[in-house]
A and B are shown apart, each in its own frame.
Chain A
Amino acid sequence: GIQVEQSPPDLILQEGANSTLRCNFSDSVNNLQWFHQNPWGQLINLFYIPSGTKQNGRLSATTVATERYSLLYISSSQTTDSGVYFCAVTNAGNNRKLIWGLGTSLAVNP
């Protein structure tokens, strides 16, 4: 089945810094989502981005489907950005089942 790999596994930033998180996937996808899980366990849907580029405030994401990767950009990071960022995909083989990466754990220090 499709494999999802995220990098880096851990990241520590000073407030105000920028960062790029990467998600590689091993097969074609028809759905790719980025999530932020905050320290209280809530899973926030950041982007639905099977292809192309989207922006939402300080966050933006780009998926290059032909090269099987997606990037999540965080600019001017804030302490509230801390948590775990997950990438999850579905592919044509199973349109309903989300396949998850292991996540990137981000800590933003004041």
Chain B
Amino acid sequence: SAVISQKPSRDICQRGTSLTIQCQVDSQVTMMFWYRQQPGQSLTLIATANQGSEATYESGFVIDKFPISRPNLTFSTLTVSNMSPEDSSIYLCSFTTGAGQPQHFGDGTRLSIL
């Protein structure tokens, strides 16, 4: 099955700055997703990354704060903009090959904002 890699694995950032997280799959996949996991919580879907078009955001998440790119069927980025301590979380990307198929996750990016 396809392998997904995510980087950076962790970072410590200053408030007010932005960080871009990259996700690479070693084969073309239909759907890619970005999740946030706040400390001690379950995962929350931020958005579905659509190839060649704007991402589809879930309620509570906006493009200005979490811009997403997906230039092709193997790569996506998530930017966390104008960070505040409340953005300290694990951010994970995932992919699936089709509706009803299993999702596979990257190792996550552990982000801390000072």
Residues of B within 8 A of A88 (CB): 43, 103
- A31 contacts B42, CB within 8 Å? no
- A41 contacts B108, CB within 8 Å? yes
Residue B100 lies at the interface, judged by CB distance under 8 Å to chain A: yes
Residue A33 lies at the interface, judged by CB distance under 8 Å to chain B: yes
Residue A30 lies at the interface, judged by CB distance under 8 Å to chain B: yes
Residue B22 lies at the interface, judged by CB distance under 8 Å to chain A: no
Residue B19 lies at the interface, judged by CB distance under 8 Å to chain A: no
Label chain B's interface by main secondary structure.
strand
- B45 contacts A45, CB within 8 Å? no
Label chain A's interface by main secondary structure.
strand
- A97 contacts B90, CB within 8 Å? no
Residue A25 lies at the interface, judged by CB distance under 8 Å to chain B: no
Interface centre among B45, B48, B100, by most chain A C-beta atoms within 10 angstroms, is: B100
- A95 contacts B42, CB within 8 Å? no
In angstroms, Cα B45 to Cα A98, docked, is 8
Residue A103 lies at the interface, judged by CB distance under 8 Å to chain B: yes
- A45 contacts B102, CB within 8 Å? yes
- B42 contacts A86, CB within 8 Å? yes
Name B's A-contacting residues (CB within 8 A). 31, 33, 37, 42-43, 45, 48, 90, 92, 96, 99-105, 107-108, 110
Q: Which 6 A-B pairs have the closest CB atoms?
A: A95-B99, A48-B102, A30-B100, A43-B105, A100-B42, A41-B108
Besides the known contacts A43-B105, A88-B103, A97-B45, 8 further A-B residue pairs in the complex with CB atoms under 8 A apart: A31-B100, A41-B107, A45-B103, A45-B105, A95-B100, A96-B31, A96-B99, A98-B43
